[in-house]
Amino acid sequence: MGYIASQSLIAAQLVAVSGFTFDRSAPFRGSSSLRTSSMVRSTAPDLTDLLAHCALGDQRALAELYRQTRSRLYAVALRMLRSTDAAEEALQESFVKIWKNARVYRPDLAAPMTWMTTIVRNQGLDMLRRRQPEQTQRVLLDEEDDRLEQVADESPDPLALAMQGEAAASLSRCFGGLKEQQRQLISRAFYEGLSHAELADATGMPLGSIKTSIRRGLLALRTCLEGLGAEAGR
Amino acid sequence: MNYLKPELISALAGEYVLGSLKGRARSRFERLMAAEPLVQREVAKWQARLQPLADRLDPVEPSERVWKRIEKRIRPAQARSAAAADAAAGSGAFGQLVSAWWRRLALGSSALAGVLVAVLLLRPPAPAPTVAAAPPNWDMWSILLSADNKPHIIVCASKSSRRLWVMVNRPQTVAADRSLELWMMPADGSGQPKSLGLVPTDGVHQIQLATTVQERVAGVPVLAVSLEPAGGSRSGAPTGPVLYSGPVLFKKTT
């Protein structure tokens, strides 16, 4: 996957570097300004292409990238920060970072959505870190968390799995193989951005047990995913 | 620090991506990650492994004001970039565009500060490389990066030709008794690298091949440049440090 993505990024860079006119005002049309017909794409640009155009300073590419990904990335931010204001700020800061760093996006290292999600989650983690402990977090932690049940789905519907794609299906299956406690801790850490200490506070478990449980859970997850041959890329 | 045990690295990378690794432990791990490509790869793997967790959240539409704010934030930078591109007038359309492209990369460098996704980020390149020519109909290329992820050398070619073009993006300083040598790295780490010849420390250079580029680089995942004794490695295998490397890429044909 990374390989194909690399090709299209490079193809887009080629447009900019090789003396074909890169018409800044017409980011996705291209056909009139390119002499090589094989480089003309008639379909909508994919996320990797859009990131490549962002790298070239094309603001419309960012607008389209935002349009295609905002609701998924916003869900991640909202889930972690649990406030509309904070999640909007996180999304905004993340897209400014995506814009500024698109030129160093490496399609061989990460899928576009993975790269962008990482930026959003790191932004969220930063914002959580800056929040003071007396703020509302602890109250929120006690809420019943129905998402955990979904993540820990032990008998997944095959059709749903097929639709989720192979990676998601593999993760679902491997998650199902973890101990209940490991699933809960890993899910809460991922979605809510909780530290080991915060998880200890939230669950009443000793800090050492939290660390051990998460570490064993992650390594079991890795072993299981590798066993399923679900590892993406290299 | 006995940090480089695979199991421990993997667990720490997992905890880092998960976000549960916090405070000083997180900072320590980030420093380790910045220095160790192996750790960067493990982090990238964990990002991919855990991504389905994010994907399964139900999408939520953000307010329209978010985009308005983003637009406001990116506009000034955009204007500066465009001005820089316009100002980058040179001789020949190709040189001009390349120059504009690299200058733009250099311009944006301040934007990089403080972004946490170090594994996915490269350092900004230095300004003003010069690339004066390119082969006709090029459809294969490789950007060779230094260890700190700066693009130093571009190799490109037309697959059906027998000639590789090597463009040095920024002049190199190499001791008089040393040469830079270009290698095709073996797939999957098995087998020996094969030499493609010496490369210059500056300017544009062509390497003549006995077969077509297509035949020669078929299946080669990565090109690399190592520092060798003047005239090239005598053993036929790289002996000096690998200075630059990059994946071999082909233009997508549709």
* C-alpha–C-alpha distance, residues B67 and B79, integer Å: 18
Question: Chain B contacts of A22, Cβ < 8 Å?
Answer: 97
Question: Chain A contacts of B60, Cβ < 8 Å?
Answer: 71, 74-75, 78
Give the confidence band of B239 by pLDDT, cuts at 50, 70, 90.
confident
Question: Chain B contacts of A46, Cβ < 8 Å?
Answer: none
> What tokens were used for B194?
């094969």
Determine the pLDDT at residue B50: 94
> Mutate which of A13, A171, A234 to disrupt the B interface (most B C-beta within 10 Å)?
A171
Tens digit of pLDDT for each residue in A173-221?
Answer: 898 889 999 999 999 999 999 989 999 999 999 999 999 999 999 999 9
Minimal Cβ distance to B49: which of A22, A194, A225 = A225
Minimal Cβ distance to A96: which of B56, B74, B254 = B74
Tens digit of pLDDT for each residue in B188-202?
Answer: 656 788 889 888 888
> Mutate which of B20, B47, B105 to disrupt the A interface (most A C-beta within 10 Å)?
B20
Determine the pLDDT at residue B165: 87
- The 3 state secondary structure assigned to chain A is CHHHHHHHHHHHHHHHHCCCCCCCCCCCCCCCCCCCHHHCCCCCCCHHHHHHHHHCCCHHHHHHHHHHHHHHHHHHHHHHHCCHHHHHHHHHHHHHHHHHHHHHCCCCCCCHHHHHHHHHHHHHHHHHHHCCCCCCHHHHHCCCCHHHHHHCCCCCCHHHHHHHCHHHHHHHHHHHCCCHHHHHHHHHHHHHCCCHHHHHHHHCCCHHHHHHHHHHHHHHHHHHHHHCCCCCCC
Minimal Cβ distance to B70: which of A40, A78, A96 = A96
Determine the pLDDT at residue A150: 40
Q: Decide if B19 and A78 are in contact by the 8 Å CB cutoff.
A: no
Determine the pLDDT at residue A43: 46
Percent of chain B whose predicted confidence (pLDDT) is above 90: 15
Instruction: Please tell me which residue, A80 or B252, carries the higher pLDDT value.
Output: A80
Q: Are A158 and B39 in contact (CB under 8 A)?
A: no
Q: Decide if B120 and A76 are in contact by the 8 Å CB cutoff.
A: no
Q: Decide if B62 and A194 are in contact by the 8 Å CB cutoff.
A: no
Q: Decide if A233 and B120 are in contact by the 8 Å CB cutoff.
A: no
Nearest to A70 by CA among A83, A88, A82: A88
Determine the pLDDT at residue A144: 36
Q: Decide if A4 and B44 are in contact by the 8 Å CB cutoff.
A: no
Give the confidence band of B3 by pLDDT, cuts at 50, 70, 90.
low
Give the confidence band of B131 by pLDDT, cuts at 50, 70, 90.
very low
Helix (H), strand (E) at residue B28: helix B23-35
Question: Chain B contacts of A129, Cβ < 8 Å?
Answer: 22
Instruction: Please tell me which residue, B88 or A93, carries the higher pLDDT value.
Output: A93
Over residues B151-174, the mean pLDDT reads: 85
Question: Chain A contacts of B81, Cβ < 8 Å?
Answer: 57
Instruction: Please tell me which residue, A41 or B253, carries the higher pLDDT value.
Output: B253
Tens digit of pLDDT for each residue in B28-72?
Answer: 898 888 888 888 889 999 999 999 999 989 999 999 999 999 999
Nearest to A54 by CA among A90, A10, A93, A101: A101
Determine the pLDDT at residue A17: 31
Identify each DSSP E strand in chain B by its residue range. Answer: 140-146, 151-157, 163-168, 178-185, 194-199, 204-208, 222-229, 242-247, 249-250
Determine the pLDDT at residue B79: 52
Q: How far is B15 from chain A (nearest CA, A)?
A: 7
Give the confidence band of B146 by pLDDT, cuts at 50, 70, 90.
confident
Q: Decide if A71 and B59 are in contact by the 8 Å CB cutoff.
A: yes
Residues of chain A with pLDDT under 70: 1-45, 132-164, 230-234
Q: Decide if B60 and A75 are in contact by the 8 Å CB cutoff.
A: yes
Determine the pLDDT at residue B168: 84
Instruction: Please tell me which residue, B162 or A30, carries the higher pLDDT value.
Output: B162
